[in-house]
Amino acid sequence: MPVVDPHLFIWTVAVLTLCGVILRPWHVAEYIWALSGAALLTLTGFIPWTSALAAVAKGTDVYLFLIGMMLLAELARQEGLFDWLAMYAAQHANGSGQRLFDLVFLVGTLVTIFLSNDATAVVLTPAVYAATRAAKAEPLPYLFVCAFIANAASFVLPISNPANLVVFGSHMPPLLTWLWHFTLPSLAAIGMTYLALRFTQREHLRRPLNTSITLQPLSSGARLTAMGIALTAALLLLASALDAQLGLPTFCAGIATASLIHLRQRMNPMPVLKGVSWGVLPLVGGLFVLVEGLAQTGVIDTLAHALASLAGHSGSQSTWAAGIVVGIASNLINNLPAGLIAGSVGHIAPLPTQTTSALLIGVDLGPNLSFTGSLATLLWLIAVRREGEHVSALDFLKLGMVVMPPALLAALAALLI
């Protein structure tokens, strides 16, 4: 029998694990920290094996969704689709930094909406860097677009962010219901993010750019990938409209697109498979187990009933509180565990639809405050550093304090209209 307080032990392991995931001490991968924390709680008996396995199984739809999206994103990267889009934007900027900014913002928004925020952070970021180098522009103002729009546009559709599947789980609203609740808040978030970034980067955007940019023809593989992505988006919209889970359709679409391209071009699939960030899957699974452990301490149940009580007193107050508190918490513990907790809160106690929607907005949009807030932003930071650029935690926080609060407040206000 354990000789220590079980609640204290679970909280200690959870905090240390989340610190490892966010800070990556000794450059140990995020999924190693998540798996280690989950294994420690299970091996010591503080979480039964059956509960741990059940917690991991809860993420099946998320795993399938991530695999399908990561395959499509890696195909797009290796086939040069995003490189072509970024160079197309640079060529059509006609020497204007402001026009290039607008085009990058538009491309980033569309990629986030239809291919998820992780694709924007991982695949579009190096493509935008290459485009800015060709245009002889300062890269960071345009790279910041990839980071911030990846979160700002991540609740336009259910497929725009894996965290959406985590929050709602099997209770995902039908597509029309989703659009009814989130279209206006999404427009508010995207619009405020655009205005804040344009204002803060205005000096850099006034500098003229190189106009002699040669755009290479789009390869047949890239065209097939684009068709696969478009068909996948249509399939997911149909699945959402039919109130079906999104994981299996995404997985099947990703496998089918990859198989078609490799069979037609007689290519070895191993480069694509090696390029996929498979560590994301055990990371999510480990976090599911950690949240299961926190649920056993009773804290999630307490939060759920406190929020339900506040909602019974004032629906608008609970909406503001849910969005702001979860938005801040996402930066402290990362939005994946915050999303899991928010999803558990929404399932434990009956909450108004606006309050549940505010939880999702906080999970998706709140991480724009710091680069520890979301997996997408952490992946963006890795991609930026790989290109030789340096962004400190303080630099990102200074910009995030200008960009995130107006967008979050505007989205929550739009939700209450």
Residue 139 lies in a domain: yes
Please state the domain count of the chain.
Answer: 1
Tokens coding 181: 């609740």
Report the chain's mean pLDDT, rounded to a whole number: 87
pLDDT at 101: 94
Confidence of residue 170 (pLDDT cuts 50, 70, 90): low
Q: What is the pLDDT of residues 6-52, one digit of tens each?
A: 888 888 888 888 888 777 788 888 889 889 999 999 999 888 999 99
* 287-310 residue pLDDT tens: 889 888 888 888 888 888 888 888
Residue 235 counted as domain residue: yes
Please check the confidence at residue 1 and state whether its pLDDT lies above 50.
no
Q: For residue 1, is it within any domain?
A: no
Q: State which amino acid sits at residue 76.
A: A
pLDDT, tens digit, for every residue of 117-136?
A: 888 887 788 888 888 888 88
Query: Could you give the count of Cα atoms lying within 13 Å of 379 in the half-sphere of its Cβ?
Result: 22
Spell out a b/e string for 99-137, using b for 16 or more CB atoms within 10 Å of the CB, else e. bbbbbbbebbbbbbbbbbbbbbbbbbbbbbbbbbebbeb
Residues of the domain holding 357: 6-415
| 275 has pLDDT over 90 | no
Write down the pLDDT at residue 173.
83
Which residues 6+ apart lie within 8 Å of 306 measured at CB? Answer: none
User: pLDDT digit string (tens) for 131-155?
Assistant: 888 888 899 999 999 999 999 999 9
Token code pair at residue 147 = 């980071």
Terminal-residue alpha carbon distance, the chain: 53
Distance between CA 79 and CA 276 in Å, rounded? 14
pLDDT over 80 (residue 157) = yes
**What proportion of the chain, given as a percentage, has pLDDT over 70?**
99
More confident residue, 236 or 194: 194
Would you place residue 3 in the very low, low, confident or very high pLDDT band (cuts 50, 70, 90)? low
- pLDDT tens digits along 315-368: 789 899 999 999 998 887 778 788 888 888 877 878 888 999 999 999 999 999
Alpha helices in 79-200 (DSSP H): 81-92, 97-115, 117-119, 125-134, 139-152, 162-168, 175-200
**Position 126 in a domain:** yes
Residue 157: partners with Cβ closer than 8 Å, 6 or more residues away:
113, 114, 175, 178, 236, 237, 240
Side-chain-facing half-sphere of 78: CA atoms under 13 Å: 21
Residue 332 lies in a domain: yes
The pLDDT assigned to 341 comes to: 85
pLDDT tens readout for residues 53-65: 998 988 888 888 8
Express each pLDDT in 94-124 by its tens digit.
889 999 999 999 989 998 998 788 888 877 8
| Cβ within 8 Å of residue 244, ≥6 positions away | none
